[in-house]
Structures are given as structure tokens and as C-alpha cells.
Amino acid sequence: MMSRSYTNLLDLAEGNFAALGPVGGSGRQRHGSFGLRRMSRVMTVPGTLTELDGEDESEPAATSSVASDVPSSVAADRLIVVSNQLPIVARRRPDGRGWSFSWDDDSLLLQLRDGIPDEMEVLFVGSLRADVPAAEQDAVSQALLDRFRCAPVFLPDHLNDRFYHGFCKRQLWPLFHYMLPFSSPASASAAATSSSVATSSPGNGCFDRSAWEAYVLANKFFFEKVVEVINPEDDYVWVHDYHLLALPTFLRRRFNRLRIGFFLHSPFPSSEIYRTLPVRDEILKALLNCDLIGFHTFDYARHFLSCCSRMLGIEYQSKRGYIGLDYFGRTVGIKIMPVGVHMGQLESGLRLPDREWRLSELQQQFQGKTVLLGVDDMDIFKGINLKLLAFENMLRTHPKWQGRAVLVQIANPARGRGKDLEAIQAEIEQSCQRINVDFGQSGYSPVVFINRDVSSVEKVAYYTIAECVVVTAVRDGMNLTPYEYIVCRQGAPGSESVSEVSGPKKSMLVVSEFIGCSPSLSGAIRVNPWNIEATAEAMNEAISMPEQEKQLRHEKHYRYVSSHDVAYWSKSFILDLERACRDHFKRTCWGIGLGFGFRVVALDPHFRKLNMDSIVNAYEISESRAILLDYDGTLVPQTSINKEPSPEVLNIINTLCSDSRNIVFLVSGRDKDTLGKWFSSCPKLGIAAEHGYILSGKGVSKGIVAERILASVKERGKQADFVLCIGDDRSDEDMFENIADIIKRNMVAPRTSLFACTVGQKPSKAKFYLDDTFEVVAMLSALADATGAELKSDSADELAASISSLDIGDEQSESSDTPIGGS
């Protein structure tokens, strides 16, 4: 099934989103959530459904029992989980007529439903791990939606190949695991001219622009499927992992107020690594279109925040334990929460008869041996060969383990492909063979290498007999192998299996410091897997440790793993997503920008244009006024070549300063010499140069300067009842924030007219805006006109004395004729 916009891919990748429709709305009518039905465990299409959960199709109540509890006029909240693959196992029926579908119980996406509120429906969007002919796709889609609440995405084979193997596995996967794309000119040229990614290895060539375009287009396929099923007013969307980094931009472009969460299950590299990606800004900006971005560890989140700061100039703030990025008026939340395992599934696996049988076999096979276990994907980043080298070193340096210690290494089938993967697999097999030749004995092989797909039941049996699990990945997102091992060593609650490991529960872990679960396992022995000798000593320490110490470490780990399971993780993420989206419909929003530069600007509903009549009226009736002005971008356009103030501006400022009721300050980032020279004709103007540094020293912002000016006015016994503060950039936001807080702190008169005004319509802490510097000058001119043509000379002298006597800093003007902060 081809996308309607497939032919426009190049325009799309270059920033033309015209095909996606207007910015302001979805173009769809609002509808309620789908009715819930009990889901069958297995189904076939076409044909009858095979019911394994006891559902009776003849019962009409099974059709919409939950939806009937919700009034038809109210749409219930729903969670749409979007990932590269659905948590579905699809098999062609033996007779070739139709398909058989079942839930993938090992899928994290399926397991996360346990943490979702019962009243919230969950709908999955993703691709199937099976090739469905185009003629059957509509029927399969409808069947999966009706029975499993799944909406499948069908990518053309050539697009899927370029999307997954060409960009995800060849570009993103290695880069996110700290592998830079080094290559020789010859290999880069070959990669650029190759028409297939079948033998491409990660990091072996220049950036493939066509693979990026395929990635963008594939994300658009997922977007179009989400649009088919979404109710943007009520639904939450939770996007998963690096395959769909571009999706949030498509969603935000179509639905400005859609509630979007994203969780990255892989590492996020440091800024020095990430900055080598040619589409680095596009991906960062796409993620910033989310409301909440989740990471497994603080390190991954810290790297992301650093990239946003260094490449986009966006800083984060932390308040009451929550981290947020201020992005054009929207606060993008950062969530740090490592995922857990599904306790119920593991414990049920411990009770299966097949596990009992396999456990008995393994106990007999390894009787009298100390088993160390490794369970890893066949991948260049899992460090399997480093583990083998460390085990070999342990046998050599600690001969007591020869004939007694066995390393069982399970290698799950590789998900990627390429020459690097083939090379590492050959290296692993050679190491296994060498160790078994050098240290093997009759009836004893020190390394048991299982290079096949191992069932969950068999894996649980291996976990149960292992004295220690060793994970030496050089880089990994989370890695739940240690968690699974801990649960299996604990055993099923209430189990009285004859083959269960007797005695106190204990487990030992040797884990790489470069994996996501390492910080959560305080009792594990952490290693640098590149240090072969240290890893070997860690293995020896783990299996030689006193039994009581093993037991204590196991108890500590089990308490954490059992309480921080997958349900805890998903529940926590959804709660924070709801919190991040709480003010969505309270703000004024509009979308701006093209392509991946698209973003939504969110403004406070009370943010409005400054009314000229209102401020002039307030000015005329006030008795004590404080006027604080920025310079660049406020009194003079940022784009102006001549930065000196115009005669009109100088005349307006002199007129305002000549009123004895006015305190006028210029608070600017420019140096004191320049400002003193430019405003030498304004002797009664107060100047705070270099963002207030001249007045108050290092680390002081414009906000502190504004506060001290108003405090000094109050100390003289006359509180300001009119405050005007105007600025145009980030440095002025501190001034706006402090000004907004002064009334609560009784620094001004109780009935003060407060006008905090920014230049231009943009997210700001100010409550008012003026469009440009011309409007600012016009407004100040109106205030100057209101001052009156005739002022008493003694009023002017009084003002000069007032300015010179203000105690607002260590450095002040020496006379009324010298600007404060000037020379």
C-alpha cells in the first residue's frame, strides 16, 4: 500500500509539509473512543476466531461492555501506543488460507498495559513482523483493529529495507551506541553507489541521504495510520524508540494541542558524538514537538539536554524535581525512569511444566559445576567476545576453576546485518573453540555457546541454575537480563517444585558500567568490559563470594526489581504525561516554520497587545513612576546598521526624565562607555550597563537591577505606583519575572499600574507586547506628550538629585550630570 504523498518525498525531506494539510486543525470530526471488547488470545483471518480465553461470541454484552458505561456525548481518554512493531505474532495458516494472530507475551509494549488505568483504552499502531500481500492488508487491518485494538502499518518492502536496515540500523543504532562513521574514501564511495543495504555495515560510509529520506517517509506512513484512528481532543499518543524520531513533528503539525509522549529505549550519546549526525537539528526539533521525553538514565537525559543547549541554544530548568525545556512557550518535560520486567509473566514461567523438565535436565548436565550465564543479542555492541576473553583470563589466572566453572553464552538471533556482524560472530566462535581446546577436559567444556533462538521457558531454566550472570555490553540502552535473572533466582511465590534451587535465595551479577540498568543495581559488581583483567577478577569475586553476602545482595536487588516493574514504569510515565499536558487547552497556540523547523508557539491567554490609551491614562494619574527600558531591539531595531539612538529617541527620553515624578533607567547589555557616549545628552537618565554588571557585579541579571531600583525608590519613602518595563530578548525575561513579583513583596504601591511589555509576539513572562521598535517609540512619545510642555525648574533639579542619591549599587554617578554606570 503506497502513501498518497510518496512522490513528494524530496519536498517533504527538504521542508515542504504542504501535503499534510492546514496547520490549524485535523480536518476530522470529533468522535468518541472505540468500544472495548474482550480480546481473544488467538485469531485467524479470514475464518473463525480461535478463542483461548473462554469468550462466547454469542453473548451480545461482549461487544461493548465497557463503552456502555461511558455517556455517548463524552469521549473517554485513550492511549495510542506507536512503535516500529506491533506486539503481535502473525503466522500464515498451514493451509495457506488466511492468517493466525496472537499476542507476543514477551513484548514490552503489551506488558506496559498493566500500568495503564483500567478506564483508559489502549490502541497499538505499528508494523507486523510478516509480509502481508497487498490484497489481504485491508482485511487484516480491520480484523486486528476489531479484535486486538491494533492498527497495522504496511511499508513497501523496498522502503522498509531502506528505513530499517539503511537508516535505523546503519546510521542511528551505531551512532547512539557511540560508534562514529569512520570510513576510507574507497569504502565511502562504494557505500554511496551501492543500491542495496544488505551487506552494509554500520559506520562504514558517508551519510546516506536517501536512507534519511526513506526514514522520513516511513515515519509519515506511521503518521497517516495514527491519523486514521485518532481523536485528537481526547487521545494521548506514546511514541517508542529511535525508529520514529521524526513522527512527533508530523503529529504536532497536524494537531497543535495533541498530547504526545516519547520514550527512547536506546542510549542517547554525548553531544560530541551526536553532533556528527548531519540531521542532528532535525531530530532534536522533532523530539521537542513532544510534551514529554523519557530516558532510562540520567546520563542519557543529560546528553540530550546538552545537545539541545549546544546545538539549539535551549536551556533547561529544574523545579521541584521536574526537568523541563522552554521551547517557544511550551514546556517539554524530561522523564528519567528505567523500565522494569513483567513480574507476573516471569513468575508464571517458573511454574510451567516444561520449565521443570528442562531445569532437571540442566541440573543433571551441570552437576558439580559453577555456571556463569550470558544472555545477549548477537550484536557488535554486546561485548560477547570481551566476556569470553575475560572468562579465559579467569581460568588461566585462577586454575582452581578449571574443570569446575562453565560459561553458558546464549546468543539471540541478530536483528541487523552486515559485514561487521559476520566478523564478530566468527570471532566469538573462534574464541569459544580456543577456550574449549585449551581448558577442556573429558566430559567438560568450559564454554557452552548456544547460537540459536532460545524459548522463554528454556531461558528461565538457565537463569535458575546460574550462580552468576555476566553482562559485558560496551553500550546498551537498558538490558533487562539481570532483572530477569534476579526474579528467576527468587523463584515463584508459593512454589514447591522438587527441582527448585534449595537453600537461601541468592544471585550474583557482573555488569558493564555502560548499560542502563547498572545504576539501579547497587549490589552488582560493575566493570569496564574493555579491561579484560579486571572483568576476570570480577567474575572470580562473584562466584567466590561468601554465601551470606550473595544472599544479602540478592535480597536488595529483588526488592528493587519487584517494586519497579514494567507496570510501575508505564504508570509513572502516563502520570507525568498528563501533568505535562495539563495546560494544553489554556494557551493560545499556532504553528510556524517549515519542515523539521516546524514548532508550535504557545502563549498565555492573557498575553495581549499593549493598549496605548490604557497606558497613557495610567501614566497621567500616577504620582511616582519607574520606567525601565532595554536598548537593542527595543529602542533601536536589531537589524539596524546604525546602532546609535535617533534624535527622536533622545528627545523622548529627555522629556520623560524632566518630569520629577519619573525615574527612567536604561538597562542594557552594552558597555558603559558606549552607552555613556550615546546618551551624554540625557544627564538625568539612569544607566545600568552590561546587564547590570556595572552596578552590582558578577552574576547579577537585569531582574536584580530592576528590583534594586524599585527598592531604592521605596527606601526614599515614595513607592512607585506606575511601572513600565520594556525589553525584547532572553535577558529581559528575568526583569519581567522580577517585576511581576514585586507587588507580592510590597515593593511598590498597593494599587500600582504594572506594564511588563516585550517586543514582538513570542512566548514571554511579560503580559503585554508591542509589534516592533517603531511602536515602542510611538508609545514612549505618547507618554512624553502627556508629561506636559512646562515643568518647573526646581522639579528638574529635584529629579537630578534623586537620581544621584539612589543607592542601587557599589558604583554610582558622581553628579547629576553623569549617567549612572557611565563615565
Q: Which residues contact 616 (CB under 8 A, 6 or more apart)?
A: 782, 783, 786
C-beta separation of 569 from 115 below 8 A: yes
| 350 and 229 co-located in one domain | no
Give the 3-state secondary structure of residue 417.
Answer: coil
Q: What is the mean pLDDT of the chain?
A: 82
Query: What are the grid coordinates assigned to 136, written together?
Result: 489481504
Evaluate whether residue 42 is within a structural domain.
no
Closest by Cα among 115, 168, 165, 144 to 37: 144
Instruction: Output the pLDDT for position 276.
Output: 94
| 413 and 438 co-located in one domain | yes
Closest by Cα among 243, 333, 329 to 599: 329
> Do the bridges between strand 722-727 and strand 625-629 make them parallel or antiparallel, or are there none, so unpaired?
parallel
| 521 and 630 co-located in one domain | no
Give the 3-state secondary structure of residue 127.
Answer: strand
Query: What are the grid coordinates assigned to 452, written together?
Result: 540459536
Instruction: Output the pLDDT for position 502.
Output: 60
Instruction: Output the pLDDT for position 7.
Output: 34
pLDDT at 634 over 50: yes
Give the 3-state secondary structure of residue 605.
Answer: coil
Instruction: Output the pLDDT for position 296.
Output: 97
pLDDT of 711-749, one tens digit each?
777 777 677 888 888 888 776 777 777 776 776 667 777
Query: What are the grid coordinates assigned to 708, written together?
Result: 534594586
| 395 and 290 co-located in one domain | no
| 700 and 716 co-located in one domain | yes
Evaluate whether residue 44 is within a structural domain.
no
pLDDT at 702 over 80: no
Q: Which residues contact 552 (CB under 8 A, 6 or more apart)?
A: 523
| 367 and 438 co-located in one domain | yes
Across 348-365, average pLDDT: 88
pLDDT at 587 over 90: no
Query: What are the grid coordinates assigned to 582, written together?
Result: 495539563
Band of residue 417 on the pLDDT scale cut at 50, 70, 90: confident
Spatial separation of the C-alpha atoms in residues 458 and 357, rounded to whole Å: 10
The CATH number for 253's domain is 3.40.50.2000
pLDDT of 280-308, one tens digit each?
999 999 999 999 999 999 999 999 999 99
C-beta separation of 149 from 103 below 8 A: no
pLDDT at 588 over 90: no
Cα pseudo-dihedral 112, 118, 119, 122, rounded to 10: 30
Spatial separation of the C-alpha atoms in residues 769 and 319, rounded to whole Å: 27
Evaluate whether residue 600 is within a structural domain.
no
Evaluate whether residue 199 is within a structural domain.
no
| 492 and 577 co-located in one domain | no
Instruction: Output the pLDDT for position 228.
Output: 95
C-beta separation of 650 from 679 below 8 A: yes
Instruction: Output the pLDDT for position 469.
Output: 98
Evaluate whether residue 150 is within a structural domain.
no
Phi, psi of 711 (to 5 degrees): -65, -40
Instruction: Output the pLDDT for position 641.
Output: 82
- Residue 313 DSSP one-character state: -
Output b/e per residue, 413-435; b: 16+ Cβ within 10 A. ebebbbebbeebbeebeebbeeb
Spatial separation of the C-alpha atoms in residues 419 and 427, rounded to whole Å: 12
C-beta separation of 745 from 714 below 8 A: no
Closest by Cα among 356, 368, 438 to 406: 368
Most confident of 131-135, 313-317, 323-327, 507-511: 507-511
pLDDT of 182-235, one tens digit each?
654 444 444 444 444 444 455 555 889 999 999 999 999 999 999 999 999 899
- For residues 60 and 668, the model is more confident at 668
C-beta separation of 754 from 744 below 8 A: no
Band of residue 403 on the pLDDT scale cut at 50, 70, 90: very high
Q: Which of 79-83, 154-158, 219-223, 744-748 has the lowest mean pLDDT?
A: 744-748
Across 258-267, average pLDDT: 97
Spatial separation of the C-alpha atoms in residues 593 and 600, rounded to whole Å: 9
* Owning domain of residue 705: 608-805
CA 646 to chain centre: 47
| 576 and 540 co-located in one domain | no
Percent above pLDDT 90 for the chain: 51
Instruction: Output the pLDDT for position 76.
Output: 62
3-state secondary structure labels for all residues of 249-309: HHHHHHCCCCEEEEECCCCCCCHHHHCCCCCHHHHHHHHCCCCEEEECCHHHHHHHHHHHH
Band of residue 632 on the pLDDT scale cut at 50, 70, 90: confident
Band of residue 820 on the pLDDT scale cut at 50, 70, 90: very low
pLDDT at 550 over 80: yes
> Do the bridges between strand 330-336 and strand 322-327 make them parallel or antiparallel, or are there none, so unpaired?
antiparallel
| 160 and 309 co-located in one domain | yes
Across 16-22, average pLDDT: 41
Instruction: Output the pLDDT for position 4.
Output: 36
| 730 and 640 co-located in one domain | yes
| 575 and 560 co-located in one domain | no
Instruction: Output the pLDDT for position 184.
Output: 43
DSSP-based helix, strand, coil % in the chain, nearest 5: 45, 20, 40
Instruction: Output the pLDDT for position 462.
Output: 95
Give the 3-state secondary structure of residue 587.
Answer: coil
Give the 3-state secondary structure of residue 588.
Answer: strand
Evaluate whether residue 55 is within a structural domain.
no
Evaluate whether residue 543 is within a structural domain.
yes
> Do the bridges between strand 525-527 and strand 508-512 make them parallel or antiparallel, or are there none, so unpaired?
parallel
Instruction: Output the pLDDT for position 788.
Output: 62
**Based on the structure, what is the number of domains in the chain?**
3
| 370 and 312 co-located in one domain | no
Amino acid at 73: S
The CATH number for 632's domain is 3.40.50.1000
What ranges in 103-165 are assigned the alpha helix state H? Answer: 108-111, 134-148, 157-160
The answer to whether the Cα torsion of 489, 495, 500, 503 is positive or negative is positive
Instruction: Output the pLDDT for position 503.
Output: 67
- For 487, 495, 566, 767, the CA distances from 344, given in Å and listed in that order, are 10, 14, 10, 53
The distance in angstroms from the start CA to the end CA of the chain is 74
Instruction: Output the pLDDT for position 43.
Output: 44
Instruction: Output the pLDDT for position 599.
Output: 84
pLDDT at 535 over 90: yes
Please give the full DSSP string across 423-453, using - where no structure is assigned: HHHHHHHHHHHHHHHHH-BTTB-SEEEE-SP
pLDDT at 12 over 60: no
Spatial separation of the C-alpha atoms in residues 658 and 807, rounded to whole Å: 20
Q: Which residues contact 162 (CB under 8 A, 6 or more apart)?
A: 197, 210, 211, 214, 215
Instruction: Output the pLDDT for position 39.
Output: 38
Spatial separation of the C-alpha atoms in residues 473 and 381, rounded to whole Å: 6
- For 76, 184, 711, 805, the CA distances from 716, given in Å and listed in that order, are 60, 74, 9, 10
- For 15, 22, 124, 577, the CA distances from 26, given in Å and listed in that order, are 20, 8, 20, 22
Evaluate whether residue 56 is within a structural domain.
no
pLDDT at 612 over 50: yes
Closest by Cα among 594, 736, 567 to 723: 736
Please give the full DSSP string across 681-741, using - where no structure is assigned: T-TT-EEE-GGGHHHH-TT--HHHHHHHHHHHHHHTT---SEEEEEE-SGGGHHHHHHHHH
Strand partners, 724: 627, 755
pLDDT at 676 over 50: yes
pLDDT at 103 over 60: yes
Closest by Cα among 280, 236, 224 to 262: 236
